[in-house]
């Protein structure tokens, strides 16, 4: 099956610093990648959709200057949380798909901002 990885799985950073999370499709070329945020015991909230070589499309209410998304290749998308604050602490999940196929999810990244 299609495999998606995320790195790191857990990151702790100090308030005011930036942190980058990578999402890779390991055995397929992902034309589209999605980034979600999830709080404990809640559903996934879509933050943005990125297509390879294009600017990401952000969902309403998501600050694009704070959550920078880059989809530079067909196998890699990155999410950079800039000037992180404790309220940005959350679980971030990426998924990838190609064509009209379903999304394949990464294992997630836990971000803790101290």
Partner 1 sequence: AQTVTQSQPEMSVQEAETVTLSCTYDTSESDYYLFWYKQPPSRQMILVIRQEAYKQQNATENRFSVNFQKAAKSFSLKISDSQLGDAAMYFCAYRSASQKYGNKLVFGAGTILRVKS
Which residues contact partner 1 by CB under 8 A? Answer: 32, 34, 38, 41-44, 46, 49, 57, 91, 93, 95, 97, 100-103, 105, 107-108
Nearer to partner 1 among residue 43 and residue 87 (C-beta): 43
Residue 86 CA to residue 111 CA, distance in Å, equals 9
Nearer to partner 1 among residue 16 and residue 107 (C-beta): 107
Residue 110 CA to residue 30 CA, distance in Å, equals 23
Nearer to partner 1 among residue 32 and residue 75 (C-beta): 32
Tokens of 37: 């945020």
Task: Quote the distance between the C-alpha of residue 80 and its chain's center.
Answer: 8
């Amino acid at each position: 099956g299609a495999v998606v990885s995320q790195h790191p799985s857990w990151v702790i950073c100090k308030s005011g610093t930036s942190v980058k999370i990578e999402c890779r499709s390991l055995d397929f070329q992902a034309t589209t990648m999605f980034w979600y945020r999830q709080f404990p015991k809640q559903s996934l909230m879509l933050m943005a959709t990125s297509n390879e070589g294009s600017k990401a499309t952000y969902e309403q209410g998501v600050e694009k200057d704070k959550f920078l998304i880059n989809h530079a290749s067909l196998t890699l998308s990155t999410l950079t949380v800039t000037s992180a604050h404790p309220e940005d602490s959350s679980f971030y999940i990426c998924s990838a798909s190609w064509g009209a196929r379903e999304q394949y999810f990464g294992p997630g990244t836990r971000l803790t901002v101290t």
